[in-house]
């Protein structure tokens, strides 16, 4: 396969596994990272050693100017054919009455506005309406959007609810312009995001309560993302795929 796939927050966790799999399929991968250059550079070296093509680009998706620079870097690598809106943040557990405006501003700037702006730039490049050749966008949601995350991260859950809605609306908007837009909703996945939210043992503490009695892996989510990016999902758009081991199933 050919073309450029941009993965925001691609240096670690789910994003890194998406990059590995996309590069192995022959895509040129642009690995975006916000601050951990060492992780992104190590991933690029790993992909290149395996025969793939990858480049790293720093950029905070909470900043419009950084996003514009990120897509300019993608343009230099070739034709953009895919965007994975993977970058996101979670904060420490808190009830809504204890959340500051700074926390909420950061949460929605990165998780929602950043995803919208990246999608905007991707559509400008991939839409046949703008002279593009089509492509695919995959957004990262969360089972939290269905569960609410009461007493923990209602703000995070709400931001991912916005991603659900954006996925459906954008999919319909560009359905006849050669672009498919889908999302995955991971459940409890064993990645570093839990530690960044101040609960490093969250996976272990929840394992017994999970329907499959185990957390998911980043690679299991990456496989679903790669499928949605691929031509094997050529008639799939506006879909939100739960990769949650059954955790997001409502009674």
Provide the annotated active-site residues. 156
22, 7 Cβ separation under 8 angstroms: yes
Q: Which stretch of DSSP H or E encloses residue 54?
A: strand 53-58
Residue with tokens 């799999």: 21
Distance CA 125, CA 109 (A): 23
Chain centre distance of CA 45: 22
135, 82 Cβ separation under 8 angstroms: yes
189, 218 Cβ separation under 8 angstroms: yes
3-class secondary structure, 194 = helix
Is 222 exposed, middle or buried (CB count within 10 Å of its CB: 0-12, 13-18, 19+)?
Answer: buried
């Amino acid at each position: 396969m050919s073309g450029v796939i941009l993965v925001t927050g691609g240096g670690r966790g789910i994003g890194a596994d998406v990059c590995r799999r996309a590069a192995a399929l022959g895509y040129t991968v642009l690995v975006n990272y916000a601050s951990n250059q060492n992780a992104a550079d190590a991933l690029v070296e790993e992909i290149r050693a395996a025969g793939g093509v990858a480049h790293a680009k720093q950029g905070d998706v909470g900043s419009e100017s950084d996003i514009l620079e990120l897509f300019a870097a993608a343009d230099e690598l070739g034709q953009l054919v895919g965007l994975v809106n993977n970058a996101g943040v979670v904060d420490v557990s808190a009830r809504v009455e204890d959340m500051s405006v700074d926390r909420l501003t950061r949460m929605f700037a990165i998780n929602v506005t950043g995803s919208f702006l990246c999608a905007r730039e991707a559509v400008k490049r991939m839409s046949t309406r703008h002279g593009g050749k089509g492509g695919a966008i995959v957004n990262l949601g969360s089972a939290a959007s269905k569960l609410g995350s009461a007493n923990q991260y209602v703000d995070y859950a709400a931001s991912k609810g916005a991603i659900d809605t954006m996925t459906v609306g954008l999919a319909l908007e560009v359905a006849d312009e050669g672009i498919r837009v889908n999302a995955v909703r991971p459940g409890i996945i064993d990645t570093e995001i839990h530690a960044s939210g101040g609960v490093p043992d969250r996976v272990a503490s929840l394992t017994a309560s999970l329907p499959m009695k185990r957390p998911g892996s980043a690679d299991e989510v990456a496989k679903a993302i790669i499928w949605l990016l691929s031509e094997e999902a050529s008639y799939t758009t506006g879909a939100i795929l739960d990769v949650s081991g059954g955790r997001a199933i409502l009674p």
